[in-house]
Structure 1
Amino acid sequence: MITLTWHGGAVAEITLDRPEALNALSTKMAEELIRVCGEVAASRAHAVVLSAAGAKAFCVGADLKERNGMSDADLLAQRPVFRAAFGAVLGLPQPSVAAVHGFALGGGTELALSCDLVAAEPGAVFGLPEVSIGLVPGGGGTQLMARRVGPARAADLVLTGRKIGFEEAVALGVVDRPAPSGGAREAALETARAIAANSPVATRAAKRALRHGAPLDLAAALDVEDNAWRTAALSADRREGVAAFNERRAPVWPGV
């Protein structure tokens, strides 16, 4: 249900691999996502791509067939697993890029927004339709969408539950890397390779600064940035980067 592929050792690709169910998230799939993300987080990967198998969907959210027979107690028991799964993607220390094609609804949109960057292609459809079935987005959708597009635009999407197509998603800023038809995965891999060419110490520290500084006031956010700068500045990567620049060669990063 979740597969892990390595591209040259520096880029890890995590694939949602349940195409017969449009990659709907079951409890078992969520548990596998937690395990694989943990493996990647502990690795020396420089960047991560989150992709999906099948032609129709990135992910259509929670498996409602599985939930149909659940009691309230069953649903509450599933909740920590789902929170941990979305948190595992959001918490990856490496920069991450989602490769979205087809439907990315509910948890699918939330998984994409849990990545640092989103690549998508024409035909991609995003949405947080949870209110239409009596729920609230629970994989970070209300918070991540608001941080992406602003509170008012997020309210429009969350409270109406409406779906948005590729062009509107690009215009709103839900999609960072527009790709040609059939090209979302390659655009995500290309972006991940570009990230992976840089210092892994620096890119991880920069990710922390971007994530942790965003909700803070400017003075506090600049302290977060300073801590990230110090992490990179005192690393072997910084020494290698400066030496490589002066010697006019490609750096060989010592890394994390």
Structure 2
Amino acid sequence: MAMIEVRRDGALALVLLNRTEALNAISTAFAAELAERLRELGAEPRLRALVLASNGGRAFCVGADLKERKGFSDAELYAQRPVFRELFDAARELPMPAVAAVGGYALGGGFELALCCDLIAADANAVFGLPETSVGLVPGGGGTQLLSRRIGLARAADLLYTGRQIAYAEACELGLVDQVAKTGASALDAALELAGTIAANSPVALRSAKHALRTGYDLPLAAGLDIEDAAWRQAAFSADRVEGIQAFAEKRRPRFE
């Protein structure tokens, strides 16, 4: 059975982590396969949104496969590092909006995979944590950088330094959860609903907006506004803008190509 399953529904892609017997622990092979699938999807211009989820089980992803690493020499651990970096780079650099559906454990690299996405949907079973310091490591999938940008320096420091796990309610309070699952619904249900709303919009506008948001976030305002202007021009002179205005005038849903 493939470790990664990809399903498509029109302009929406669903990427399912399918190593559920190991709680989707990230082995070297798993990281390489997931990175390849994400890069392939990122190259599909008609996709407007992507959902990353577990194909069932008790976890979204529990991070690096420590059973695999247990027998590693320093050289083998060193060789694994670029494979993992390629995975997190591929997730973070997706050109279309990406939503993580977190049900169950999202720990270590699993939490970082969710942070690489633009938005996080979760249900009441979600548990988040970066336990790396408890096993002599530092988060290496963007955790030290992405978490602080989401919830602030001091709150990120708490989770990074203590390595503690936080349940759904605290995660919502900290601002980690962007879409809350309705009563009786799963994180995947919530993520698909959110991604479906996103996917109804212009693919050119969505990608341009994401580029402006992600690229300009840490820049001085003037530089960020220049990036926004370039993104505006990309969308404004596209066929999507013509269709969007025409659909508005005709009081119908736009048919973006």
Normalised by the size of structure 2, how large is the TM-score? 0.97
2:211 is aligned to 208
Displacement of 1:220 in angstroms is 1.3
Give the superposition deviation at 1:182.
Answer: 4.4
1:12-161 superposed matches below 5 A: 12-43=13-44, 44-161=46-163
Matched residue of 2:50: which SS? Answer: strand
Would you say the 8 A contact 1:120–1:177 is kept in 2? Answer: yes
CA-to-aligned-CA distance 1:109-135 (integer Å, 9 cap, x gap) = 000000000000002100001000000
Shift of 1:219: 1.4
Q: CA deviation at 1:54?
A: 2.5
- Residue 199 (str. 1) matches residue 192 (str. 2): no
Q: Note the C-alpha offset of 1:38.
A: 1.4
User: What is the percentage of aligned positions where both structures have the same residue?
Assistant: 61
Aligned residue type for 2:192: L
| Letter paired with 1:236 | A
Q: Which amino acid aligns with 2:216?
A: G
Corresponding residue SS for 2:39 = helix
**Could you tell me which amino acid in structure 2 is paired with residue 196 of structure 1?**
A
User: What is the match of residue 10 of structure 1?
Assistant: 11
Name the CA distance, whole Å, in 2 between partners of 1:81 and 1:40. 18
- Contact kept? 1:22, 1:54, Cα under 8 Å: no
**Which is further off, 210-219 or 191-200?**
210-219
Runs of 4+ in 1 over 3 A off after TM superposition: none
Q: Give the secondary-structure state (helix, strand or coil) at the position aligned to 1:138.
A: coil
2: CA distance, partners of 1:18 / 1:132? 24
Secondary structure, aligned partner of 1:248? coil
Deviations 1:29-56 (A, max 9, x none): 1011111111111112110000002320
Q: State the aligned residue count.
A: 253
Mapped to 1, the partners of 2:220 and 2:158 lie a distance apart of 26
For residues 144-180 of structure 1, the C-alpha deviation after alignment (integer angstroms, 9 at most, x for no partner) is 0011001111111111111111011111111101113
- TM-score, L = length of structure 1: 0.97
Secondary structure of the equivalent of 1:12?
strand
Instruction: Name the amino acid aligned to 1:86.
Output: F
> What is the SS of the residue equivalent to 2:8?
strand
Offset of residue 249 of structure 1: 1.5
Which structure 2 residues correspond to residues 237-252 of structure 1 after superposition, within 5 A?
237-252=240-255
- C-alpha distance in 2 between matches for 1:206 and 1:118: 18
Within a 5 Å distance, the mapping from 1:162-173 to structure 2 comes to 162-173=164-175
Find the aligned partners of 2:171 and 2:187 in 1 and give their Cα distance: 14
CA–CA distance in structure 1, aligned partners of residues 17 and 238 of structure 2: 35
Cα contact 1:3–1:14 (8 A) shared by 2: yes
Aligned equivalents of 2:15, 2:55: Cα separation in 1: 10
Q: SS in structure 1 opposite 2:16?
A: strand
Give 3-state SS (helix, strand or coil) of 1:222's partner. helix
Considering only aligned residues, what root-mean-square deviation do their CA atoms show, in Å?
Answer: 0.9
Q: Deviations over 1:44-84 (max 9, x none)?
A: 21100000023200000000000000011100100000000
| Separation in 2, partners of 1:153, 1:222 | 29
Structure 2: runs of 5 or more not aligned: none
Consecutive unaligned residues in structure 1, runs of 5 or more: none
Given that 1:95 and 1:207 are in contact with CA atoms closer than 8 Å, whether structure 2 keeps it comes out as yes
